[in-house]
Chain A
Amino acid sequence: MILEVDGLNAFYGEQQALFGIGFGIDEGKIITLLGANGAGKTTVLRALCGMVRTSGDIRFDGKAIAGWPTENVVRLGVAHVPEGRGTFVRLTVEENLQLGAMIRRGRAAIAADIDRVYDHFPRLRERRRQQAGLLSGGEQQMLAVGRALMLLPRLLLLDEPSFGLAPLIVEELFRILREVNRDIGVAMLIVEQNAALALELAEHAYILETGRIVLDGTAAEIAADEGVRRAYLGY
């Protein structure tokens, strides 16, 4: 397993936000974390990257990383596309991509990978010299995914990639995520409110409610269970 989480609690100040979360991701697989607004989905991603105070066990590739500073977790190969996309708005598109590869060595390989990101997202190539803050929401989301891929991650954490995007753009984005997963075998943890879409992409799904995992199963099972869909996923 690339990631194993066990008994994970997370806190914002005195307020506990996660209660004994446990799940795992196999090498190269995609899982999704579903649940309503405020269920704690984003907090799970932040906890994995040391962005909130936690207790409990997080193992990446067998290493205990709970409590590590964010940049050290990232340096192991965990790329996080955060809520709000985290664009460096005053830098150019290309500079944003270069920053994604900041921890890597080798100029030629980085240039080749920037080119590969442009192949996945041709619209970014057209706008490579533009200030990233001037891109549309969809383009910024693609830039955020591209930036994360520049790390050559082993695990990609995606926080609501569909948020605020037009349906066609969302479809394109998810198609590309599937391609990327197939081509480079990067494992993904996708947090989504758009459950139908996420369940199509993921193999396994966990449902979160008020900071606890209340249900898990294969994506197919969850998608097929009308009661679960009505109760938790709202469709």
Chain B
Amino acid sequence: MQLFLQQVLAGLANGAIYAGMALAVVMIYLAIDHLNFAQGEMATFSTFIAWQFIAWGFPYWIAFAAVVAVSFVGGIAIERVLFKPLHNADILANLVAFIALFSILNSADGYIWDYTIKTFPTPFGTKPLFGSVLIDSHEAGMIVVIGVLLGLLYLFFSGTRLGLAMRAAAQNPASARLVGIRIGWMTALGWGIAAAIGAVSGMLIAPIVFLDPNMMFGVLLWGFAGAVLGGLSSPGGAVLGGFAVGIIETLVGTFVPYVGRDLKLTLALLVIVAVLMVRPTGIFGRTTVSRV
């Protein structure tokens, strides 16, 4: 029983990160109808910048805040430079752009910071939380930080005019323009927020999986699995899906023989395929309800 609880909590901690990546993917998907395959590489790049700041001697939380800001601006820049011109291009052109972004960032990581695996600090320590054997302090920190981030995003989207404008632009771009919303900038803002969420996720998972240019590959796959499970058209669903696949991952890895560490990623793909076969919209994804 103790092992089970331990694994569920560890799954929640990983799931928090998957939820972050799933939400980042969904935000861009809602804005431009494409999956951002480079979301993980963007997060890795952000994490390397954080590593650099910390190596230069900046305190952790200063580096953390600076990297969130830099990533936000960087996300906007990527949209303006690379994807805005592809606004009306077909899906393959966009796909190639995502692959390009993926390899550029991946190679830049290796070129600037080389391919050796680096440790990444955690501000929470890794001691058992309050002496409990169930969860350590870094895992608890991950859950809290992501929880706060999700709460802030919820307040932003539900309670501010800008958040409302972004939702409107994603739902009905033609009507959004007719009320004067500059939908191009809403898309760019979505990229900025997605990049910032990715940066937070990357910095939180790095102490566990260690930092190298391919750090986020598996993490993004789980993020995709969470997003597909919860529903690509539903930000809230994607978040819940992310937490769910985190728990599925640790439980199956621990309790199902043969899966262990090696076959875990296969499991992520299995989740994606199964959901797409049984319920392609995901659990919370919706087909539009309307009456005419």
Contacts and interface: CB of A to CB of B under 8 A. Distances in A.
B88 interface: no
A164 B180 contact: no
A90 interface: yes
Contacts, number: 80
A147 B289 contact: no
Contacts of A54: none
Contact of A133 (B174, B180, B183, B291): B291
Interface in B131-189: 161, 164-165, 167-168, 171-172, 174-183
Nearest to B165: A102
A88 B175 contact: yes
Nearest to B162: A102
A89 B182 CA distance: 20
A135 B291 contact: yes
A80 interface: yes
Contacts of A32: none
Contacts of B181: 71, 99, 102
A49 interface: yes
A100 B291 contact: no
A137 B290 CA distance: 10
Contacts of B168: 88, 91, 95, 99, 102
Contacts of B178: 49, 70, 74, 79-80, 82, 86
A136 interface: yes
18 contacts: A71-B180, A75-B180, A80-B178, A89-B290, A90-B286, A91-B168, A95-B168, A98-B164, A99-B164, A99-B179, A100-B179, A102-B164, A102-B181, A131-B289, A133-B288, A133-B291, A135-B291, A151-B180
